[in-house]
């Protein structure tokens, strides 16, 4: 018995040794890449993972070219919080990784794609004159406010509905899109035609979103106890029959309909308006005005529509008239 235990223990030691070695290798490569980053600017905080950014050389020459070309685009005034981001060398933006069409990390290429990402690139372009000087990090619904408050991100662009509760802790630029909350059901389910039909049904949405509160107001008998931290798990629960409906903004659900091979459908009867804003630190008026200027500019020169058509547009959705920016 003792011998067996000893053998087990030594095997365990080998595993631990291997794991430590692997971990050491990992951090090695991290630090070297941080080193190369560091050559073209200030402390490239290699915040681990998700660095789809830049690093590819010659940043400083680019920046001056950008301000020359900035005849139309809003200029970065020295001494403002926007200039501080510019001095930092990259902008950090919190986005979703699991929302098709808006913010999705492509599992094969590792690229992050979607409308939110393109909006982020427009803002990056306006600040640096180079849309690669951006680092996208994942911000799930429930950690958006802390990320902004702690300065872990400069902006959050993640299907982030502007509302009064949130306005107490963060500020919003935009809106840059107005969605409406809708319901996703199985294709053969004809019992749900609107939000009232959710009474007595089980509905899933994600932790940290306002979707379930909205359902509770309009269908008080709906069972809204099922929440996960990713929409994909809600869709899985719908497929398994654990819930009868998944609810959130129509545009998010549309992506899942597209991926479902006809198994799922959208009810198509939106019951809220969800203005998507760009979250930033409360009281940072300079950054908010700048982002609003960039949005207005993109509405005028067609880059907003272009971004929409390339991302959300592939689902067949027509680009709407962009919503007026709310400079509250």
Which residues in this chain contact another protein in the complex, by CB under 8 A? 1, 5, 141-143, 145-146, 149, 165-166, 168-169, 204, 207-210, 213, 225-229, 233, 236-237, 240-242
Closer to another protein at the Cβ: 113 or 145? 145
Helices 303-310 and 285-301 cross at an angle (nearest 10°) of 80
Minimal distance, residue 45 CB to another protein, in Å: 21
Nearer to another protein, 106 or 213 (CB): 213
Please report how close the Cβ of residue 35 comes to another protein at its closest, in angstroms: 32
**Phi, then psi, of 14 in degrees rounded to 5:** -60, -45
Distance separating alpha carbons of residues 124 and 76, to the nearest angstrom: 11
CB of 275 to another protein, least distance (A): 16
Q: Quick one: 61 or 165, whose CB is closer to another protein?
A: 165
Peptide bond into 175 cis (omega under 30): yes
Nearest to 54 by CA among 124, 147, 142: 124
Q: How far is the CB of 136 from another protein (least distance, A)?
A: 21
Which CB atom, from 161 or from 250, has the smaller least distance to another protein?
161
CB closer to another protein out of 208 and 323 = 208
- At its nearest, how many Å lie between another protein and the CB of residue 15? 9
Report whether 37 contacts 55 (CB < 8 A): yes
DSSP state of 318: P
Q: Comparing C-alpha atoms, which of 173, 254, 170, 163 is closest to residue 213?
A: 163
């Amino acid at each position: 018995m003792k011998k067996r235990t000893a053998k087990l223990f030594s095997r365990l030691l080998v595993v631990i040794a291997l794991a430590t070695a692997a971990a050491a290798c990992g951090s090695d490569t991290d630090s070297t890449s941080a080193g190369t980053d560091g050559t073209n600017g200030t402390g490239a905080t290699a915040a681990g993972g998700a660095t789809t950014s830049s690093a590819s050389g010659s940043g400083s020459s680019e920046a001056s070219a950008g301000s020359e070309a900035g005849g139309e685009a809003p200029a970065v005034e020295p001494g403002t919080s926007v200039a501080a981001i510019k001095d930092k060398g990259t902008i950090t933006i919190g986005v979703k990784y699991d929302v098709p069409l808006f913010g999705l990390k492509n599992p094969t290429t590792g690229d992050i794609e979607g409308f939110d990402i393109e909006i982020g690139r427009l803002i990056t372009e306006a600040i640096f004159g180079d849309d690669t000087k951006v680092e996208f990090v994942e911000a799930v619904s429930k950690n958006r406010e802390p990320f902004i408050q702690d300065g872990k991100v400069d902006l959050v662009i993640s299907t982030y509905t502007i509302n009064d509760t949130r306005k107490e802790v963060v500020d919003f630029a935009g809106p840059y899109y107005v969605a409406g909350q809708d319901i996703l059901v199985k294709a053969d389910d004809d019992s749900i035609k609107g939000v009232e039909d959710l009474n007595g049904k089980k509905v899933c949405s994600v932790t940290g979103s306002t979707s379930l509160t909205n359902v509770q107001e309009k269908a008080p008998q709906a069972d809204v106890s099922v929440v996960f931290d990713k929409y994909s798990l809600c869709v899985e629960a719908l497929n398994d029959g654990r819930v009868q409906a998944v609810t959130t903004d129509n545009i998010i659900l549309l992506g899942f309909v597209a991926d479902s091979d006809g198994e799922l459908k959208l009810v198509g009867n939106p019951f809220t308006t969800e203005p998507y804003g760009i979250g930033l630190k409360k009281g940072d008026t300079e950054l908010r005005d700048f982002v609003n200027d960039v949005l207005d500019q993109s509405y005028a020169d067609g880059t907003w529509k272009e971004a929409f058509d390339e991302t959300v547009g592939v689902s067949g959705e027509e680009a709407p008239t962009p919503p007026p920016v709310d400079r509250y």
